[in-house]
Amino acid sequence: MKRIFFVTCLLTFAFMVSAQGGQGGGQRQGGQGGGFRQQTPEQIAAQLEQMKKDLNLNDKQFADYKKIDEETRTKQQKIRDDAGGDFEKMRDASTKLREEQNAKIKAALTADQYKKYEEIMAQRRQGGGQRGGGNR
């Protein structure tokens, strides 16, 4: 009888551990499975460098892009914090923020660079982006 109880406890523990897997090493936030993976500073830096390379940004464009990205990340975190679990509120504010970000980026890039930027972002939204390199 003790053996059955022990095996049951062991299996329950194994199930609980496996159910929490898949968090990708990042910090999960936002309950009920609707969380996000917070990127490390190294991942963010790698993503920025990749974008510089992919878009062929000059130093000024890269500085502008980096500033826009940092501002957006800060505002996005505030949106998450202020939403208090209200997904609708967070989604609406995030959509508006993304539109503002895209307008600023469009002003900083050439038409060809912005077209390439849109292609990259569309690919990321479809899950074809750089996993581990930093999706947003």
**Within its chain, how far is the Cα of 77 from the centroid?**
11
In Å, how far are 6, 22, 44, 79 from 87, measured between CA atoms? 41, 22, 25, 10
pLDDT of residue 54: 95
Higher pLDDT among residues 56 and 82, named by residue: 56
Report pLDDT digits (tens) over 4-20.
Answer: 655 454 455 554 444 44
Alpha-carbon dihedral 78, 82, 87, 89, rounded to 10 degrees: -100
Query: Is this prediction's pTM over 0.75?
Result: no
Q: What is the DSSP letter of 26?
A: S
In the predicted model, what is the mean pLDDT of residues 98-116? 96
pLDDT of residue 124: 86
Place of tokens 């062991």: 10
Report pLDDT digits (tens) over 74-104.
Answer: 999 999 888 888 888 899 999 999 999 999 9
